[in-house]
Amino acid sequence: MPLNLNEYQKLALRTAGTRDDHDRTMLYTALGLNGEAGEVADLVKKVFFHGHDFDRDKLKKELGDVLWYVAIMSDALEMSLEEVALHNVDKLRRRYPDGFSQERSRNREE
C-alpha cells in the first residue's frame, strides 16, 4: 500500500503518547532519535568490523524507528514530514545542482 510522508506522520502520531509538554517532547524525541541512529550505526559496525551477517530486516526496523522519531519531532515543531523532506531536497539541489561531486563537497558555501 503506497504511503506518503504526511500519512505516515499521522499514523506515527497515534503511538506518540501525550505531546502536550513541548520541551519534554523535544527532549524525548532528540534522545530517541540519537539512540535509534546509534542502533543503525551499531548494526553496520558489526557487519564491517565484527563479521556479522548483514541483516536487512533488522536494519529496516531500526531505520523505521529513526523515521518515527523524526516524524514526532517534526510535529512538535509544527512541521509536516513532507515539509522537512522538501526542505532537505531543496537544500541539496542548491548545494549540488548537477548531483553530488567531491569537488563541490570540498568547496561549498554554507
User: What are the residue ranges spanned by the domains of the chain?
Assistant: 5-78
Please give the average pLDDT of every successive group of 10 residues along the chain, which has 110 residues. 93 92 96 98 98 97 98 97 97 92 85
From residue 50, give the alpha-carbon distance in Å to each of 58, 60, 62: 16, 20, 19
The tally of CA atoms less than 13 A away on the side-chain side of residue 70 is 17
Which CATH number applies to 5-78? 1.10.287
Cell of 30: 532528540
**CA neighbor of 70 nearest in space, from 35, 18, 39, 30:** 30
39-45 long-range contacts (CB < 8 A, ≥24 apart) are: 39/65, 40/66
pLDDT at 19: 84
Three cell numbers written together for 51: 563479521
